[in-house]
Amino acid sequence: MGSSPDAGTGMKARRLSLSLPDDFTVDVAELLKEFEYQHKLLGRHGKHLGKGATSKVTLMSRKGSPGEMYAVKEFRSKRSVESEKDYQKKIKSEFSIAKSLHHPNIVETIRLCTDHGRWNHVMEYCSEGDLFSLVSKGYLTQEGREVDRHCLFKQVCQGIHYLHSNGIAHRDIKLENLLITKDSKLKITDFGVSEVFSGIHPGLREAGGQCGQGMNGEIRLCKPGICGSLPYIAPEVLSKQKDYDPRPLDVWSSAIVMIYLVFGANIWEKAEWQNDSKSAGIQGPRGRQGLLPHVDAFDICVKPLALRRLLLKMLNPDPAKRLTMAEVVNTRWFKTIECCQMDTYDDPIKFIDASKKNATISSAGKIYCHNHLPPQNHGHGLPPMPGKAGY
């Protein structure tokens, strides 16, 4: 097995692909006028949900509504090597992208606030932590948990398909950036290195705060540089040789997420072109050149055959030949996955209890009732650590 999911985390390429104006159309509020720490029960500054190199996350509630909980991400102060304008642009760019996204598999971003000179993003609170914590418990890798693994994989792909359809690439898909709600649904978070590869940046006035505006088919490429976490990075990004389309990176990372769901770890360390059995891109299963290293466990443990074939196409080392996320979600097998989350807020909701015998046939418009959490775990998880895990 390869290294753990957090190996190589923190490698952030925070260049902005667009030349953005100094003044975004972002409404900024004072944090403590609208939200408050949980002083009475949890100490002076409430409950810290995590702390990383770039931010810390605290549990807060809306004033006057103590049961209305939010995760508040406070950003680090400006580094001496960056200008105040560049520092604020990065924070406002991340916020305006996240705030424009509305999808069942994307964390909702509520407010941009300041508090004693620090910037804060107020976000939806996902009480069960991140997918890394869930995978670490070993529950999802157990025999008979295929339904859970396939459903979570489908939710990741649904969220990324929505992003790509609206001109946004995430660029840091990993277990730590996939959060689990109290009803065990999956949501994508952390848009700190996301890029608007097509259309108008949601932070610009002409976008009106919406994503997917002004898309005309033109694709803006990302400059060479490591972005994301090592086990999840596609070979064209690791090579750092030329500008790249960020969408195939998200497809590659999503396939790696599925491999973690199956094995509890990756089956190679990094996707580099090396004569090393632990690196990807040498020799595919059954000797097919240029796909994956020949790992017997891949053929044995990744089920069904349709999933193996799909992952191989998502992990093609040539980004031009890799499946797009639109192609992934439209494959015949993918459509048959029984999913407990709707693929858009526009879909009619018709819940099906997947535990019942008469609910085994999947069809369009049906939402299956799954609980992906281990027994007696529901309600006890903590959100992940920012920078290393989520938010």
Q: pLDDT tens for residues 248-287? A: 999 999 999 999 999 999 888 888 755 444 444 433 444 3
pLDDT band (50, 70, 90) for residue 3: very low
The top-level CATH class assigned to 131-369 is mainly alpha
Report the percent of the chain where pLDDT is more than 70.
75
Q: Look up 27 and say whether it is catalytic.
A: no
Residue 335 marked ligand-binding: no
Q: Domain residues of the chain, as ranges? A: 28-124, 131-369
Q: What is the pLDDT of residue 89?
A: 87
* In the predicted structure, residue 290 carries a pLDDT above the cut 90: no
Give CA–CA dist 177/195, Å, rounded: 16
Q: Residue 165 burial (CB < 10 Å; 0-12/13-18/19+)?
A: middle
Radius of gyration of the chain (CA): 21
- Name the residue with higher pLDDT: 37 or 391: 37
Active-site pick, 6, 148, 172, 343: 172
The yes or no reply on domain 28-124 and CATH 3.30.200.20 is: yes
For residue 260, give the nearest of 329, 174, 184 by alpha carbon: 174
Give CA–CA dist 304/205, Å, rounded: 47
Backbone angles phi, psi at 127, to 5 degrees: -75, -15
Biggest CA–CA distance in the chain, Å, is 63
Give CA–CA dist 203/195, Å, rounded: 12
For residues 291-311, give the mean pLDDT.
82
- Classify each residue of 301-327 as buried b or exposed e, where b means 16 or more C-beta atoms within 10 Å of its C-beta: ebeeeebeebbbbbbbbebeebbbbee
Those residues whose C-beta lies under 8 Å from the C-beta of residue 112, and which sit 6 or more positions away, are 26, 27, 28, 29, 91, 92, 95, 99, 119, 120, 121, 122
**Which residue has 């008469």 as its token pair?**
358
For residues 236-249, give the mean pLDDT.
94
- Classify each residue of 173-184 as buried b or exposed e, where b means 16 or more C-beta atoms within 10 Å of its C-beta: bbbbbbbbbeeb
Average pLDDT of the chain to the nearest whole number: 82
For residues 76-94, give the mean pLDDT.
87
Give CA–CA dist 154/193, Å, rounded: 23
Q: pLDDT tens for residues 336-350? A: 999 998 888 886 666
For residues 32, 33, 34, 35, the Cα torsion angle rounded to the nearest 10 degrees is 20
The structure's pTM equals 0.86
Q: What is the pLDDT of residue 59?
A: 92
Q: What is the pLDDT of residue 144?
A: 85
Is residue 263 within a helix (H) or strand (E), and if so which, with residue range?
helix 246-263
For residue 307, give the nearest of 257, 258, 342, 364 by alpha carbon: 258
Q: pLDDT tens for residues 9-59? A: 344 445 555 566 666 667 899 999 999 987 655 544 556 676 666 778 899
Lowest mean pLDDT, pick from 3-17, 69-83, 98-112, 220-234: 3-17
β-pairing, 55-62 with 47-51?
antiparallel
**Which residue has 């053929």 as its token pair?**
299
